[in-house]
Amino acid sequence: MTAKPTPFALHHFIDGKKVAGASDHFGNIYNPATGQVTKRAPLAGADDVRKAINSAAAALQGWSATPPARRAQVLFAYRDLVKRHMDELAEIVSNEHGKTIEDAKGSITRGVEVVEFATGIPQLLKGEYSEAVAGGVDSYSVRQPVGVCAGITPFNFPAMVPMWMFPVAIACGNTFVLKPSEKVPSCSLRMAELMHAAGLPDGVLNVVIGDKQAVDTLLTDPRVAAVSFVGSTPVGEYIYRTGCAHGKRVQALCGAKNHMVVMPDADMDQVTDAVIGSAYGSAGERCMAISVVVVVGEETADELVRRLTPRIQALKVGPYTDLAAEMGPLVTPEHEQKVRAYVDTGVAEGADLVVDGRPVKVADHEGGAFLGGCLFDQVTPQMRIYRDEIFGPVLSLVRVDNYDTAKRLVNDHEYGNGAAIFTRDGDCARDFTSSVRIGMVGVNVPIPVPVAYHSFGGWKRSLFGDHYMHGPEGVRFYTRLKTITARWPSGIKDGAVFHFKAGGEH
């Protein structure tokens, strides 16, 4: 049996220092592989959050006046530090989230790609200039920081999702208050320390651990100008409505039920590999996981089930310390029970549970939040396991007769985050990409997460707000456009005009 650790208390990171905080409320942080409490997270009260906002507000003027090239140099240094500390950060992520070390390193690398994108901020902030828009009048535009920004991040990617936010915001000249999930806060705290070591001035990046009280303080404080969120749809909608009601710019990236359409002409070897990786990687705890496979044709569906069944049964489930593990535990015992309940519901609703991961046990980790891969066949759109975001290693297979029915299922679902189609038919793929109502689409690519210099976001109830995350959309979200029209006296007596003239001159 694994020795029971003694929990220790974490701190916030405010104004460049570790701060214990004034609140006497704490939350438990688990090692998901053992079920044991390893740390205690101080849950910030309103006063703690306001201290972080005070620090960010005080640092704003100096940081926004820092030349973009200098801001980029800090991010270059931070990128190098993250790479140097990759093993340490991956260990922190895996210890609190449960994902395998390789999965953790992969997610950190995707976050670093956004940092690398943000180092190009001098080019990204370049405006436009038009000479002589009227007699002696020039017009030009600039992008300026919005002010103090806040980020509220989920448990499933403790490194990557925060790095989708604060590097771009800080590169644009804003200051930032990060509120990571209280289930997995340690990586955010360590990344803030590395940003400080990279030369970031005190107060530009602050981290507070907290729950709803901390979130509400960020949403209602008038000094916070913009809020970024990644998480569930009910919480995201609340954050969007509350933040907007308090005059803030809000981007809320929310839930998903990502479909993969498999056509009869698809390469079934490729499809099988894609389903295994996209449905069961990171134990299904990612918003871009494939959780529904829509198969066109009974023969194709039978073949896919035949191929998937032994692969899912053979998945090695274990703690991150087992380097052979392909899938780790779920994040907490409570979340494990929630996902198990969905499997029970699917059985009760009449779906065919082809692979049942509930009996899976991991030796010497009996208290861990482990659940094996589950596969349901004969799923219908009326079932909860089809409609709801389960956020676990549970895959639903829906059988349809034709492509049009498959596409209609994708378009009719309330979520519109990601979808994929596997086919050799270019006409079919082109129709799918052009007419499917989804924000991110893959063709023979199961998880179509955009690279850092494109932007990430969904449609329908997967996104609240007008801007996607990172890439050009991220720069637009964290800046305001200002257009200047200027006229300088030339000494030529042409007279002042104070009204619009025919032809557009004024």
131 and 235 both lie in a single domain = yes
What pLDDT score was predicted for residue 502? 59
**Per residue in 62-99, pLDDT tens?**
999 999 999 999 999 999 999 999 999 999 999 999 99
Q: What is the CATH number of the domain that holds 406?
A: 3.40.309.10
Over residues 149-158, mean pLDDT: 97
Q: What is the CATH number of the domain that holds 50?
A: 3.40.605.10
**Per residue in 319-372, pLDDT tens?**
999 999 999 999 999 999 999 999 999 999 999 999 999 999 999 999 999 999
pLDDT at 503 over 60: no
Task: Provide the whole-model pTM.
Answer: 0.93
Order across the sheet with 352-355: list the strands.
Answer: 352-355, 374-377, 394-400, 290-296, 258-262, 418-422, 440-443
Rounded CA-CA distance 376/395 in Å is 6
Percentage of the chain with pLDDT > 70? 96
Asked if residues 233 and 130 have their Cβ atoms less than 8 Å apart, the reply is no
- pLDDT classification of 1: cutoffs 50, 70, 90: very low
Residue 160 lies in a domain: yes
Active site residue 287: yes
Over residues 182-209, mean pLDDT: 98
- Kind of pairing between the strands at 36-42 and 224-230: unpaired
Q: Which two tokens stand for residue 290?
A: 């494939």
What pLDDT score was predicted for residue 21? 86
- pLDDT classification of 5: cutoffs 50, 70, 90: low
291 and 434 both lie in a single domain = yes
53 and 134 both lie in a single domain = yes
Residue 396 lies in a domain: yes
Residue whose C-alpha is closest to residue 413's, from 379, 443, 388: 388
Rounded CA-CA distance 47/55 in Å is 12
Residue 226 burial by CB count (10 A; 0-12/13-18/19+): exposed, middle or buried?
buried
Residue 502 lies in a domain: no
321 and 208 both lie in a single domain = no
Residue 186 lies in a domain: yes
pLDDT at 294 over 90: yes
Rounded CA-CA distance 209/222 in Å is 20
The residue range of the domain holding 383 is 258-443
Between residues 492 and 103, which one has the greater pLDDT?
Answer: 103
- pLDDT classification of 490: cutoffs 50, 70, 90: confident
Over residues 16-39, mean pLDDT: 92
330 and 301 both lie in a single domain = yes
Catalytic position from the list 149, 287, 374, 428: 287
237 and 273 both lie in a single domain = no
Work out the angle at residue 207's Cα, subtended by the Cα atoms of residues 12 and 176, and round it to the nearest 5 degrees. 150
What pLDDT score was predicted for residue 46? 96
- Kind of pairing between the strands at 418-422 and 258-262: parallel
Q: How many domains does the chain have?
A: 2
Over residues 8-34, mean pLDDT: 92
135 and 275 both lie in a single domain = no
Beta bridge partners of 177: 150, 206
Of the residues 415, 443, 471, the one at which a domain ends: 443
Residue 337 lies in a domain: yes
Over residues 202-214, mean pLDDT: 97
**Per residue in 384-428, pLDDT tens?**
999 999 999 999 999 999 999 999 999 999 999 999 999 999 999
Residue 493 lies in a domain: no
355 and 384 both lie in a single domain = yes
CA distances from 252 to 46, 147, 279, 352 (A): 22, 18, 24, 35
Beta bridge partners of 479: 145
- pLDDT classification of 499: cutoffs 50, 70, 90: low
48 and 147 both lie in a single domain = yes
Of the residues 389, 415, 443, the one at which a domain ends: 443
Residue whose C-alpha is closest to residue 172's, from 229, 228, 125: 125
Asked if residues 230 and 202 have their Cβ atoms less than 8 Å apart, the reply is no
122 and 137 both lie in a single domain = yes
Residue 139 lies in a domain: yes
What pLDDT score was predicted for residue 2? 47
pLDDT at 196 over 80: yes
348 and 404 both lie in a single domain = yes
Torsion angle in degrees (nearest 10) through CA of 257, 436, 411, 383: -40
- pLDDT classification of 23: cutoffs 50, 70, 90: confident
AA letter at 126: K
DSSP H or E run through 301: helix 298-313
Residue 129 lies in a domain: yes
DSSP string, 421-442: EE-S-HHHHHHHHHH---SEEE
330 and 438 both lie in a single domain = yes
What pLDDT score was predicted for residue 457? 94
